Structure 1
């Protein structure tokens, strides 16, 4: 495999601390703009957010995006214009096809503990979809020293994953020190690309042996095709929690 790997360092991301919200932006978002980082294929937003207790995002509209939250720790209350009300916890992935338009809010209603989560936006192939909501739980035990399939294209997903309306796959892992997992690149459309994000929880991860990620880092992987393998090893003294995005 002649893949190309380019690291996106944690400290190079967009950053804002609003008091109630501590947020890092992998790609241009809100007041952060960088011409060189405006998305990666259909992947347009990766925000790593920490929301303080009894605060959150008030009701606001979305349309024409697939929007999902990956909960790392704490609790996040979701409410939306479709009538969904849910408290999300670690291991939960909450997915919304915003389609023709929805309104939602996200609050940390816990009295003392912050909530830490990834907010991810993907452009679907068809932006005029009927809004849809789904939550699935992927347990800590299922992700420990394993790479779990979280999201897959609607045309070939089953009940074990969340379906998304484009050629896009997401995986997640909690990798203990010294353990390895392998990702096999999916999809038949060429070229493929992969983005890996290591959560800011203290882990350290090697990718294909020679690329090292510290907490909050990401890496762009290009020049890959279906069947290529990417090897991950946890090389720190803390669990490496990371997500993998595999897309056309």
Structure 2
């Protein structure tokens, strides 16, 4: 495998702190812009957010994006214009295919605890799709020392994953110290891209004996193809929680 690895250190990400919101941006987003990190294939935003109690994002519009939120800790209330109201908790993946247009709000209604979540924006292959909302739960047990498939292309997915409207796969893991998991690159289009993000919660992750990530770090992997293997080993003293995004 002739993969290229480009690290994205946590300290180098875009960072804003508005008291109610502490956000880190891997890619250019809102007021943060870096011409070297505008997008990564169909991946357009990778934001790690902490929202304080009784605060959040008021009602706002989206269109022509696939957006999913991965709850790390706390609770996040989602409301949208197609009738969905839900409080999301750790293990929940909330997915919105915005299509022709949707408005939604994301609010921490908990009186005392912050909510920590990852939000990812992906560009679909098709436009003018009907808006769609879906949640699935991947609990701690299902992710511990395993790499769990959570999102896959809508044309190929089954009921065990959330379907997305592009050539994109997402996986999640909680890896205890000294444990290893292996990701086999998916898709048919060559070459592929992979982005790995380690949640800002602790631990160390060794990837293919090439890169070591610490909390909040990520790495862009290019020049991989279907069938290539990426090996992850937890080498710190804490559990590492991470996601793997595999895309054309």
Common fold: TM-score over 0.5: yes
Q: What per-residue deviation string (whole Å, max 9, x for no partner) do you get for residues 13-71 of structure 1?
A: 00000000000000000100000101100000000000001100000000000011000
Q: Following superposition of structure 1 onto structure 2, how do residues 1-248 of structure 1 map, counting pairs within 5 Å?
A: 1-248=1-248
Once residues 121 and 87 of structure 2 are traced to their aligned partners in structure 1, the CA distance between those partners, rounded to angstroms, is 20
Deviation at residue 158 of structure 1 after TM alignment = 0.1
Deviation at residue 203 of structure 1 after TM alignment = 1.6
Once residues 163 and 101 of structure 1 are traced to their aligned partners in structure 2, the CA distance between those partners, rounded to angstroms, is 18
Once residues 219 and 6 of structure 1 are traced to their aligned partners in structure 2, the CA distance between those partners, rounded to angstroms, is 6
Matched length: 248
Once residues 211 and 68 of structure 1 are traced to their aligned partners in structure 2, the CA distance between those partners, rounded to angstroms, is 27
Secondary structure of 1:141 counterpart? helix
| Residue pair 1:15, 1:23 contacting (<8 A) in 2 also | yes
| Residue pair 1:143, 1:173 contacting (<8 A) in 2 also | yes
- Contiguous gaps of at least 5 residues in structure 2: none
Once residues 225 and 113 of structure 1 are traced to their aligned partners in structure 2, the CA distance between those partners, rounded to angstroms, is 42
Q: What per-residue deviation string (whole Å, max 9, x for no partner) do you get for residues 102-144 of structure 1?
A: 0000000001100000010000001211000000000100000
| Residue pair 1:21, 1:50 contacting (<8 A) in 2 also | yes
TM-score (norm 2): 0.99
Secondary structure of 2:155 counterpart? helix
Secondary structure of 1:96 counterpart? strand
Aligned Cα RMSD in Å?
0.5
Secondary structure of 2:189 counterpart? coil
Once residues 209 and 242 of structure 1 are traced to their aligned partners in structure 2, the CA distance between those partners, rounded to angstroms, is 17
Q: What per-residue deviation string (whole Å, max 9, x for no partner) do you get for residues 196-239 of structure 1?
A: 00000012101001210010000011110000000000111111
Once residues 70 and 113 of structure 1 are traced to their aligned partners in structure 2, the CA distance between those partners, rounded to angstroms, is 17
| Residue pair 1:78, 1:106 contacting (<8 A) in 2 also | yes
| Residue pair 1:65, 1:127 contacting (<8 A) in 2 also | no
Once residues 64 and 210 of structure 2 are traced to their aligned partners in structure 1, the CA distance between those partners, rounded to angstroms, is 38
- Contiguous gaps of at least 5 residues in structure 1: none
